[in-house]
Amino acid sequence: MHAAEALLNSAPHRMIELFCLKGRDDKRLNNIINLARKNGITVQFAQRKALDDKAAGEQHQGVVARVQPAPILNENDLDEILDKLNRPAFLLILDGVTDPHNIGACLRTADAAGVDAVIVPKNKSGGLTATARKVACGAAEAVPFIQVTNLARTLKEIQQKGVWVVGTAGEATQTVYQAKLTGPIALVMGAEGEGMRRLTRETCDELISIPMSGSVSSLNVSVATGVTLFEIVRQRQS
């Protein structure tokens, strides 16, 4: 529901038609239906089995939308975003994160933290699948999702624009709470287990870690992203 409502608010021209669960009547669903009709979008009502088939096994909350694919953003779009900013840049980079649930959760947290764009490599990374969009709860329609051909080259280009690139690594000697994380900044998060790729790690200006006091050695990447992004938010606001 969040994803459908966000799309209707941000880019209604992309929605082709909307399918809703027949017999369901609640304020949240009615708001989505009214938004769709206001934008001239066909609304059809269907039984749960029909919605299940259209959702291809995914949970749908009684709403399934058929939409035009979102435009794929690239390096040129990133340059345009950075050039238009009137405040210090705040970027999130996911290196090798492939699980759509993690990508969606990272997008949702990035939106909440005020991140200007999320950057991923075209290869070795998951894209904006239907699952990722659903988990993002509308953030996929609000936060620019940039896919770049060469991540290390992109990191060097944003460094030349004055952005400080900070990577997270378990072996880093400085923690997220010790580092100075103000000004234009790009946070790089690596895949669970493998972490950042070697070239990505070598390109970073600084490496930081999250202190771990328990028996587990690492956090889920979306949780680690949330911890680190909001420490950056805290420092930038203090």
DSSP 34-53: HHHHHTT-EEEEE-HHHHHH
| 29 is an annotated ligand-binding site residue | no
Q: What's the sign of the alpha-carbon dihedral 67, 113, 188, 221?
A: negative
| 219 is an annotated ligand-binding site residue | yes
Q: What's the sign of the alpha-carbon dihedral 150, 155, 157, 158?
A: positive
Q: Can you read off the two tokens belonging to residue 151?
A: 């991540």
Cα-based distances in Å from 175 to 59, 205, 213? 38, 15, 13
Longest dimension (CA), the chain: 58
Binding residues: 190, 210, 219
Binding site residue list for S-adenosyl-L-methionine = 190, 210, 219
